[in-house]
């Protein structure tokens, strides 16, 4: 499937950028039957994508609660204490590791984005500003800092040298340590037509089959797996070193067998995806243009990367939407890439009272709908675009 030439989804624009052309890159999905991995064909320079990063995890109360619950569970189940050590790669602003620090468990974050690393430091989270790879893992391990638990949330999709990163995880993991990896689940992407999950930062889209093959060839074994709702449907896998005595839970074999029955390791599983995306695109445009024809004022909420994909792929710009509201102060005053819609504070919804708001950050729908209950009580409605457009 080809999206054509697309701007970088997190490359938000300032006023000075509006008179300049934006860099655009091919965005194409392909499937490899050798490693069972859905992936894009173009790898953009990681420094351009992550050197300064617009996404701060702590602006989502859902993400904070998700992280706190997971840390509490791991501390309890694995008996972590002051003699343990927690690492997170792509640790962002310390949203997760802060909970280890507060519990007295030593922690180290690793993240390449200079701006979010500064915020993590303010939370008391020691953070190395660098890309995690096999070399850095070796340096950390050589310093005697082996991970009792290593988190890798929504990072394996982002790294071009994914084999090197997984080898690095195996290198820095303590003999009795566990790696806890979360990544969007390709099955949910396909079944729910979550095409806006596809953008240049997301190089890879994983099934458990693909993760199992990736880990096995790089010194890790998956011993447990869970399907979780975060980000429109994700996998959480627990992996240990190849020499660990920890046995896999039945859930691993059960999900691998289920994927085999569904045909997920085969290219044929993905064949009708592009047609369903095109049908959804037409349906969403029909809804929006229908509202505009009735004289409705329409805005959007959530200046997220997936929002940039949706707006540019569907062709929704200033002719349809007045603005995009977002909670993050780091995005307000900027413009969405490609479509160049202004990003404003959420308070603008009550000030302007658009009739309808297209929810671009639909993966946090419950949180956002609750936050904007006043807008809804005054008669405002949200449009949820995925998996089918609906008004709430």
Q: What is the pLDDT of residue 44?
A: 83
pLDDT at 55: 52
For 101, phi then psi, to 5°, come to -60, -45
Domain that holds residue 236: 33-270
Q: Check whether residue 18 and residue 51 sit in a common domain.
A: no
Residues 9 and 48 in one domain: no
- Which contiguous run of DSSP H or E holds residue 370? helix 365-371
In whole angstroms, what is the distance from residue 312 CA to residue 322 CA? 15
127, 24: one domain: no
In this structure, the answer to whether residues 262 and 343 fall within a common structural domain is: no
Q: Are strands 390-391 and 381-384 parallel, antiparallel or unpaired?
A: antiparallel
pLDDT at 113: 84
Helices (H) and strands (E) in the chain, counts: 14, 17
| Residues present in the chain in total | 392
Both tokens of residue 374? 């006043």
The pTM for the full model equals 0.89
Answer whether residue 191 is part of any domain: yes
Q: What is the reported pLDDT for 51? A: 55
Number of domains in the chain: 2
244 shares a domain with 103: yes
Question: Quick one: pLDDT at residue 64?
Answer: 85
Same domain flag for 117 and 24: no
Residue 285 lies inside a defined structural domain of this protein: no
Spatial distance between the Cα atoms of 130 and 365, rounded to a whole number of angstroms: 33
Give pLDDT tens digits along the chain (392 positions): 999 999 999 999 999 999 999 999 999 999 999 999 999 998 887 676 665 555 555 557 778 888 999 999 999 999 999 999 999 999 998 999 999 999 999 999 999 888 888 888 888 899 999 999 999 999 999 999 999 999 999 999 999 999 999 999 999 999 999 999 999 999 999 999 999 999 998 999 999 999 999 999 999 999 999 999 888 899 999 999 999 999 999 999 999 999 999 999 999 999 999 999 999 999 999 999 999 999 999 999 999 999 999 999 999 999 999 999 999 998 999 999 999 999 999 999 999 999 999 999 999 999 999 999 999 999 999 999 999 999 99
CATH number at 350 reads: 3.40.50.720
Query: φ, ψ for residue 206 (rounded to 5)?
Result: -100, 145
* Vertex 356 angle, CA 352 and 360, to 5°: 105
DSSP type of residue 23 = P
- Shared domain for 108 and 176, answered yes or no, is yes
| pLDDT at 59 (0 to 100) | 58
Same domain, 378 and 256: no
Is position 206 within any domain? yes
Q: Is the distance from CB of 85 to CB of 147 less than 8 angstroms?
A: yes
Same domain, residue pair 173 and 318: no
């Amino acid at each position: 499937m080809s999206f054509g030439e697309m701007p970088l989804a997190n490359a938000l624009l300032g006023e000075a950028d509006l008179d300049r052309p934006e860099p655009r890159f091919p965005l194409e999905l392909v499937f490899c039957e050798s490693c069972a991995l859905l992936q894009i064909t173009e790898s953009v320079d990681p420094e351009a994508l992550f050197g300064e990063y617009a996404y701060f995890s702590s602006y989502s109360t859902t993400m904070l609660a998700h992280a706190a619950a997971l840390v509490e569970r791991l501390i309890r189940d694995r008996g972590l204490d002051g003699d343990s050590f927690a690492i997170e790669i792509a640790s962002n602003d310390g949203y997760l590791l802060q909970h280890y620090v507060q519990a007295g468990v030593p922690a180290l974050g690793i993240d390449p984005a200079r701006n979010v690393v500064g915020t993590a430091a303010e939370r008391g989270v020691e953070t190395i500003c660098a890309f995690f790879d096999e070399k850095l893992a070796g340096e950390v391990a050589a310093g005697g800092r082996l991970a009792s638990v290593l988190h890798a949330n929504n990072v394996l999709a982002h790294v071009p040298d994914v084999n090197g990163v997984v080898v690095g995880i195996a290198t820095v993991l303590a003999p009795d340590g566990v790696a806890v990896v979360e990544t969007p689940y390709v099955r949910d992407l396909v079944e729910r037509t979550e095409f806006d999950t596809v953008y240049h930062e997301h190089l890879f889209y994983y099934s458990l089959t693909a993760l199992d093959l990736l880990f096995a060839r790089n010194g890790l074994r998956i011993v447990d797996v869970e399907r979780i709702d975060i980000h429109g449907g994700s996998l959480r896998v627990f992996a240990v070193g190849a020499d660990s005595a920890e046995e896999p839970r039945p859930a691993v074999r059960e999900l691998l067998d289920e994927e085999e029955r569904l045909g997920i390791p085969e290219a044929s599983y993905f064949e009708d995806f592009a047609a369903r995306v095109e049908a959804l695109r037409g349906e969403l445009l029909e809804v929006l243009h229908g509202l505009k024809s009735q004289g409705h004022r329409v805005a959007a909420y959530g200046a997220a990367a997936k929002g940039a994909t949706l707006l540019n792929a569907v062709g929704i710009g200033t002719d349809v939407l007045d603005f995009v509201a977002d909670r993050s102060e780091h995005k307000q005053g900027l413009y969405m890439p490609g479509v160049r819609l202004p990003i404003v504070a959420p308070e603008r919804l009550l000030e302007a009272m658009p009739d309808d708001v297209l929810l671009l950050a639909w993966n946090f729908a419950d949180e956002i709908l609750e936050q904007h209950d006043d807008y809804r009580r005054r008669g405002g409605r949200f449009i949820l675009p995925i998996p089918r457009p609906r008004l709430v």
